[in-house]
Amino acid sequence: MSTDGITLHRGLSGVYFDRTETTFIDGKEGKLLYRGYNIHDLAGVSTFEETSCLLMHGELPTQAQLDDFDATLKANREIPSEVVNIIRAVQNDHPMSVLRTAVSALSAFDPEAADNSSEATLRKGIRLTAQVPTIVMAHHNIRNDRAPVPPSKTLSHAANFLYMMEGEEPTVETAALMDTDFVLHADHGSNASAFTARAVASTNAHLHDAVTAGIGALSGPSHGGAAENVMTMALEIGEEENAGQYVKDLLAGGGRVMGFGHRVYRAEDPRARHLREGVRKLSEEKGEPKWFGILEAVQKAMTPYGRRGIHVNVDFFAGVIYYLNGIPHDLFVPIFAVGRIPGWTVQVIEQFEHNILLRPLLQYAGPEERDYVPMSDR
């Protein structure tokens, strides 16, 4: 069978399959824009609510528009009791599996679930943005034999997420750092989970279907698991003075240093710098400065590899932030999902507005055509 003229693009690397107006990434220069705004101008200045509004509506909101958006989020934080019961039924599963199942179940209680208009999809996306943190923390409490903490009616998105963990309001500084983390994770082009969501949307399935599939893709360790792996590495290193030898031994054995390198960026991930200082301050605030010291020592040991395009990425600092806030390791990836709902939503809307069924080809590499052999002759 002829393969003339066929060029394989394994992993679809470098393949443009559509246009987007939401996120621009320049991997060579290390640049990330949301709707034309540089991430350096948004992180630490904008809030997750404002950034979500920007991504979903296309422009920075006025104060009145932002207040309305924020009020809508707060009004939709609660989840149906039936979904809470489903969470109880599957509480022993991994948090990402529980989240996937609960988001799928939410579609049964959304009156607009089957409406794929841009307007309805946007409204559903806002509701999901509000509800996903509640799912994550409801499961966290249920599996620890505690009643779920009802979501706050007044706290910000980030502060409410941390509040629902145990019912204690976070400090302003801690909430601000989590808010920045959510801003940095709000969207990031056509990565595996966003592409999965778009592929599902291209069949004209609805938003809950697409987000459920996106969560499934994000649960894979090659996509969403890096922050958890960085913290595991830091715990294994234990002390700052061990970092250099740890990195040397790991690389000599063919291992990979977690939190370095990116499929797109060949310069430093522009999101990383906005968590670095936060980790330093949080480490000192919690009385555990060694974690920042370990990360700094690992980054120093990896400096020579920058010439090969291997730089620190956003996950390198994120895991320590979660750890210092007392968040269990298996919730690190769900936090990624909490921040990513706006991005998935707007990409699904884009897919609907310019839709064509995604149907790439596979080059056949099996046997040539052959005759069927009856059972009696085998």
Active site residues: 223, 262, 315
How many Å apart are CA 205 and CA 192, to the nearest integer?
A: 18
Give helix 95-106 / helix 81-89 axis angle, nearest 10°: 150
What's the start-to-end Cα distance of the chain, in Å? 26
- Under the phi-then-psi rule, with left for phi > 0, alpha for psi from -120 to 50, and beta for the rest, what region is 165? alpha
Distances (CA, A) of 308 to 76, 313, 342: 46, 14, 33
Task: Give the distance between the most distant pair of CA atoms in the chain.
Answer: 78
Give how far the C-alpha of residue 378 lies from the chain's centroid of Cα atoms, to the nearest Å: 51
Please state, in angstroms and rounded to a whole number, the distance separating the CA atoms of residues 198 and 108: 21
Which position has the token pair 């046997």? 367
Asked if residue 104 lies in contact with residue 216, where contact means CB atoms within 8 angstroms, the answer is no
Structural tokens at position 170? 């976070």
